[in-house]
Amino acid sequence: MRNEAFLNTALACLPTPKQTLVPAVRCLRFEKTEDGIRAGETERKPLKKGDRLCFDFGGHQVGYLSLKLGAVGSHPDAPAWIRLQFAEQPIELFERAEDYRGWISTGWIQTEQLHVDLLPCTLRLPRRYAFRYVQLEVLDVSSKYALTVEEAVCTAVSSAEDAGLTPLGSGDALLDRMDAVACRTLHNCMQRVFEDGPKRDRRLWLGDLRLQALASCETYRNPDMVKGCLYLFAALPREDGLLSAAIFLEPEPEADDTYLPDYSMLFVPALLDYYEAGGDLQTLRELWPTALRQLELANAHLKDGVFPDCDRLGWCFIDWSLELNKQAALMGVYLYCLQAGERIAALLADPVRSVLEARWEAGAEAARARFWDETAGCFVSGETRQISWASQIWMVLGGVLPKEEADALMKKMEQTEAVGIVTPYLYHHYVQALLDLGEREKALQVLRRYWGGMVERGADTFWELYDPENPEASPYGGTIVNSYCHAWSCGPAYFLRKYGPDCFFSKDMLS
């Protein structure tokens, strides 16, 4: 299924990323010690077999590398054979693609082995990389010459324009830094579409898009890009109208065959957010049938008023956790999206509004009846009656509990043993739930502790995954496949700017 009109609208709205030349600022030498990784500045010396040189581009870049290479000694009489390793974080330089044994495709690892037949030359790598550091290792030259690197330049690309971005200026150093890091994260994920991460998967994901769109409204403001992305999803539904979780742009726009029910439904609030930011009624009207279709399809899956235990419905995202039971959380997402649907129906004076209202009423009641555990004092999920943060967060966002009860639940959870939060994505929804409940101080505390933790660990951009208890671990079995610039973690820019010092956080909450 392919709606050509929607596709044309989409493609016309998508921006062309702009280029900026960013030269490397220095050369570093990293050492792994018991206390972690230490960096020291080094000189650029001619390189023989086995020698390494690591360039620091001063901050996280997304773009194309070019190296001006030369030789000292005799005329090079054999090709220079080099390995390049691109790293968003220094820790990646201490791992090798060959040693990675996890399930993520090693095709994502940003390493190249190249032959340079002719020196001097300017080596322009054709692929785009996400990195702050580039390590060049000479696999071999000949005994008659040594390789020199005269210049290392990144042609950085993004469709976000920094010129129009004013700093947060909260006066709180950590918050200002968190905002800047979040903006850079978003900036580097804004390419032709909003990519989840410029290192991996470089793809437009629906749930991720929603958070990026929110942050971009408060920062780089590119409503056309959001519109284009919404139309892309709407242009490429499954035969039954279900939206894919992700879209490939090349060689032709095509829907991923991954379908995540929560992601599909989040198209509804994403559309509402877009309308509310700019008042584009035509788009709201044109995409509303697509949005409504997601709610209809979800409704058809209900059994006795709730979703069956998630395994039976197909995989569902919620959070990057294999142990998490997602039944209750998905119900919360559904209720949350029904509310957004009601609001759109109201704006368009669509009589379906009353149907959606009735469904929300019935759904909320069924959710309380099925998932609330009186003894535990919280929501449980699945046959094992699992207690998780995910269930509570989405039930609160879905409006299942009155404000006071929801507030009490969130406080109670801090003392309850529960399946925790793995990603900045779910953390984002946690902070949103706290803010919706008016828990400004708690929300700020979570922001400081979680995103601030990444900043303290040297983040230039926010990460796909961060476990404060074990910051160097990779759930993928190797940090070289981690994405250290992942837009679903750009929340701080959204929260600090939308609910910022002047309108939400009180001045005395700033340190």
Q: Which residues are at the interface with a copy of itself (CB under 8 A)?
A: 74-75, 77-81, 103-109, 112-113, 115, 117-118, 120-121, 127, 139-143, 200-201, 203, 248, 250-251, 254, 256-257
Q: Which of 309, 330, 301 is nearest to 318 (CA)?
A: 330
Q: Which is nearer to a copy of itself, 442 or 486 (CB)?
A: 486
| 469: amino acid identity, one letter | E
Q: Which is nearer to a copy of itself, 181 or 243 (CB)?
A: 243
Q: Supply the minimum distance, in Å, between the C-beta of residue 79 and a copy of itself.
A: 4
Q: Supply the minimum distance, in Å, between the C-beta of residue 74 and a copy of itself.
A: 5
Q: Which is nearer to a copy of itself, 103 or 374 (CB)?
A: 103
Q: Which is nearer to a copy of itself, 142 or 445 (CB)?
A: 142
Give the DSSP letter of residue 47. B
Distance CA 325, CA 337 (A): 20
Q: Which is nearer to a copy of itself, 187 or 203 (CB)?
A: 203
Q: Which of 63, 241, 216, 84 is nearest to 149 (CA)?
A: 84
Q: Supply the minimum distance, in Å, between the C-beta of residue 1 and a copy of itself.
A: 15
Report residue 410 as tokens: 């969130």
Distance CA 172, CA 185 (A): 20
Q: Supply the minimum distance, in Å, between the C-beta of residue 251 and a copy of itself.
A: 6
Q: Supply the minimum distance, in Å, between the C-beta of residue 117 and a copy of itself.
A: 6
Q: Supply the minimum distance, in Å, between the C-beta of residue 469 and a copy of itself.
A: 29
The 10 Å Cβ neighbour count of residue 358 is 11
Q: Which is nearer to a copy of itself, 108 or 379 (CB)?
A: 108
Distance CA 109, CA 84 (A): 11
Q: Which is nearer to a copy of itself, 81 or 320 (CB)?
A: 81
Q: Angle, nearest 10°, between helix axes 491-498 and 173-189?
A: 130
Q: Which is nearer to a copy of itself, 112 or 286 (CB)?
A: 112
Distance of CA 335 to the CA centre of its chain: 24
Q: Angle, nearest 10°, between helix axes 403-413 and 424-436?
A: 140
Q: Supply the minimum distance, in Å, between the C-beta of residue 196 and a copy of itself.
A: 12
Q: Which is nearer to a copy of itself, 250 or 469 (CB)?
A: 250
Longest dimension (CA), the chain: 82
SS3 of residue 343 by DSSP: helix
Q: Which is nearer to a copy of itself, 126 or 167 (CB)?
A: 126
Q: Supply the minimum distance, in Å, between the C-beta of residue 473 and a copy of itself.
A: 22
* Long-range contact set of residues 305-311: C-beta below 8 Å, sequence gap at least 24: 305/362, 305/363, 305/365, 305/366, 305/369, 305/370, 306/331, 306/363, 306/366, 306/367, 306/370, 306/371, 307/261, 307/331, 307/334, 309/382, 309/383, 310/382
Distance CA 101, CA 478 (A): 8
Distance CA 305, CA 331 (A): 10
Q: Supply the minimum distance, in Å, between the C-beta of residue 129 and a copy of itself.
A: 10
Beta strand spans in 163-233 (E): 204-205
Q: Supply the minimum distance, in Å, between the C-beta of residue 254 and a copy of itself.
A: 5
Q: Which is nearer to a copy of itself, 19 or 122 (CB)?
A: 122
Q: Supply the minimum distance, in Å, between the C-beta of residue 511 and a copy of itself.
A: 42
- Cis before 436 (ω within 30): no
Distance CA 79, CA 100 (A): 29
